[in-house]
Amino acid sequence: MIHRPAVSDAARHRSSLRAPEGAAPVTRPAERTDAAPHDLPAWDLSDLYAGPDDPALTADREAAGTAATAFRDRYMGTVAGLSGADLGAAIAEYERISETLYRLMSFAQLRHATDQTDPTVGRFYQGLHEAVTEISSRLLFFTLEINQIDDDALAERLTAPEAAKFQSWLRDLRMFRNHELPEAMERLLHEKDVAGRSAWVRLFDETLAHMRFDIDGESRTVTEALDQLSDTDRARREAAAKAIGQGLSGQTRLFAHITNTLAKDKQIDDQWRRYDHPMAARNLANQVEDSVVDALVAAVKDSFADTAHRYYGMKARWFGQDKLATWDRNAPLPDAEDRRFTWDQARDTVLSAYGAFSPRMADVGRRFFDNAWIDVPPRAGKTSGAFAHPTVPSAHPYLLLNFMGRTRDVMTLAHELGHGVHQVLAAPKGVLLADTPLTLAETASVFGEMLTFRSMLDAETDPRRRRTMLAGKVEDMLNTVVRQIAFHEFERKVHTERREGALSEERINAIWMEVQAESLGPAFDFDDGYKVFWTYIPHFIHTPFYVYAYAFGDCLVNSLYAVYQSGTVEGFQDKYLDMLAAGGTLRHRELLAPFGLDASDPAFWRRGLDVLKGFIDELEQVA
């Protein structure tokens, strides 16, 4: 997923944040990995600021405040009358101020992500968030006034090169014209966010970071506990699942209250902004039509029987069981080796796969390892899962991992490095033009995973290990496609029912179990503790309706990779890197056209799902 600071509506979520038990590979307890945490690289944030007391940070905050006030004094009430050249100059100044604010919040967010339990870090994050929110509220008038310009008048302004440079940003900005409120209301909502929605999100994050799960007498973080669900020892998996269920049950009342509050907050926002349904705002931000999302969801749901149900039925037979327990879902196959990778091996595996596709792509990826741009070791208080944060074009992205040495951790590295490469290539477009919608933001990450998997599979000659690798890939794809669409359906039902009143813990649990049973199928025996596993999924809290972007990206990449393998598109690699470098300047139709693909065609999604079905077919043959 991609994380952009909450500075304005135009600054949407830009970071890849993979849920540890959902689309994302799970992680491994620190003491059981091949490298102790102190042997693994940590990031150096000094390319942003030397520390919270850095004079440059204070100077930037003060300069941004002064510039925002001057900008408001100069342009408020005059935007509609600006010439094309002057409008372009004003947008360029708006971009410069925004970049400073993004740099400030990027530093605060990244620092907080590595230790969400330290109150000093939390206070610094909250204080800077409040300061940046107050400064950025002075700029809200600008985009609102732009959207009040008549279409013909704006088209005339765009004949000036200074304004034409920002044409795609203006195009995307004007999608929200019919959903904006008067400036005073927008400013009020913006400033209250730090004591509203953002405060609830922080409460969720820090509650989860503080939680510990007692597993066989050992205290585990949520990252460590979730990772044990992939242990080779079934008794250890069961112990972890029951500890997680018991621990989360003790906080279900709080998590249900957070969920109800944020869903109601979104409902109010949607009503005032005239969105027709709970997903409408997300689809608009993703620059994807409702019909395209509906086609994706329908195609995946129609595939449940031939993908998840078929695979997990086969897995139950491999385990010699009539039914799988929930703690068997991500379990290694019975004859699988507990293969571990050192950090150096993981790095070389991913860069080799990237390099075989494109040396230029590998060169960009190598910069993350040659510099301190990745925070790798799992630590108490560190956010679980993994993400890529683009920060600002004048700096560079940062990656956060919780590396434990499993094959799935190698895939997570390949995924997040794909985001990082994408962000580096798009950065020259500038803050306003580099942003990609979530649906396209997952393209580079999933493509990076596919390259790495194919490279590892092609190099493997042992039939048993190949079967293990195929099964692992199928499970990752099921987690990325089937499971994420189930998550999407859970969100859709919760938000729809919330419009009629608050949901009880029991009702939210019931919705969760309904969508899990539908998607995973009859091969599972769902234990009672599993009903609360919805509580720790960060996507539901951070970015409502993010999750379908994973399925969108996976199916898109499957189709894209099939074109690459076919060799029918000359210069595929250069076209692919050009697509990433376009940032947010092009829509999905324009980006996919050079490859002969069209996401609005229902057959597009079926073609992507056929890749998953083909892997399952191959597993049935080798089994």
Could you tell me where the DSSP H helices lie in 326-461? 343-357, 359-370, 407-426, 431-434, 438-459
Q: How far is CA 493 from CA 126, 200, 263, 367, 551, in A?
A: 32, 21, 11, 43, 18
pTM of the predicted model as reported, rounded to 2 decimal places = 0.85
Average pLDDT over residues 345-349: 97
- Whether 28 shows a pLDDT value over 70: the answer reads no
- Quote the tokens at residue 278: 């709970």
Residue 96 has pLDDT above 90, yes or no: yes
Amino acid letter for position 188: L
Q: Which SS3 state, helix, strand or coil, does residue 355 take?
A: helix
Q: What's the CATH number for 42-201?
A: 1.20.140.70
The DSSP bridge partners found for residue 324 are 524
38-88 residue pLDDT tens:
589 999 999 999 999 999 999 999 999 999 999 999 999 999 999 999 999
**C-alpha distance from residue 361 to each of 271, 448, 518, 543 (Å):** 44, 10, 40, 29
Q: What's the pLDDT score for residue 395?
A: 97
Q: Which residues 6+ apart lie within 8 Å of 308 measured at CB?
A: 478, 482, 519, 520, 521
d(CA 470, CA 474): 6
pLDDT tier, 335 (very low <50, low <70, confident <90, very high otherwise): confident
Residue 23 has pLDDT above 90, yes or no: no
Task: Note the residue count of the chain.
Answer: 623
Average pLDDT over residues 528-553: 94
Q: Is 470 exposed, middle or buried (0-12, 13-18, 19+ CB in 10 A)?
A: buried
User: Each residue of 403-445: pLDDT tens digit?
Assistant: 989 888 999 999 999 999 999 999 999 999 998 888 888 899 9
Residue 15 predicted with pLDDT over 70: no
Cβ atoms 403, 378 nearer than 8 A: yes
Give the pLDDT of residue 43: 98
pLDDT exceeds 80 at position 144: yes
CA distance 220 to 215: 7
Distance CA 62, CA 404 (A): 41
Contact (Cβ atoms closer than 8 angstroms) between residue 287 and residue 596:
no
Mean pLDDT of all residues in the chain? 91
> Is 70 exceeded by the pLDDT of residue 522?
yes
Report the amino acid identity of residue 422.
Answer: H
494-503: average pLDDT = 97
pLDDT value at residue 603? 82
Chain centre to alpha carbon of residue 10:
17
Residues in Cβ contact with 426 at an 8 Å cutoff, skipping those fewer than 6 apart: 434, 436, 580, 581, 582, 583, 584
Determine how many CB atoms are found less than 10 A away from the CB of residue 374.
24
Q: Residue 300 and residue 360: Cα distance in Å, rounded?
A: 34
Instruction: Please give the pLDDT value at position 604.
Output: 86
Which of 5-9, 133-137, 589-593, 604-608 comes out lowest in average pLDDT?
Answer: 5-9
Is the CB of residue 380 less than 8 Å from the CB of residue 440? no
User: What is the rounded CA–CA span in Å between residue 342 and residue 547?
Assistant: 30
d(CA 112, CA 121): 6
E strands in 475-584: 524-525
pLDDT of residue 339: 80
Mean pLDDT is lowest, of 18-32, 188-202, 427-441, 571-585, for: 18-32
Average pLDDT over residues 86-101: 98
Take residue 389 and report the two structure tokens written for it. 């944060």
The encoded tokens of residue 541 equal: 């809290």
Specify the 3-state DSSP secondary structure of 201. Answer: helix
Domain assignments of the chain as residue spans, ordered by start = 42-201
- Is 388 in a helix, a strand, or coil? strand
Q: Is 77 left (phi over 0), alpha (psi -120 to 50) or beta?
A: left
Residue 18 has pLDDT above 70, yes or no: no
Whether 111 has a pLDDT exceeding 90, the answer reads: yes
Which amino acid belongs to residue 87? L
Residue 354, pLDDT above cutoff 70:
yes
Q: Which two tokens stand for residue 522?
A: 């009859």
Residues 132-145: what's their mean pLDDT?
Answer: 96
Q: What is the pLDDT of residues 555-567, one digit of tens each?
A: 999 999 989 999 9
- Model pLDDT, residue 440: 86
As a whole-number percent, the residues of the chain with pLDDT over 70 amount to 94
Q: Between 482 and 18, whose confidence is greater? A: 482
pLDDT at residue 239 tops 60:
yes
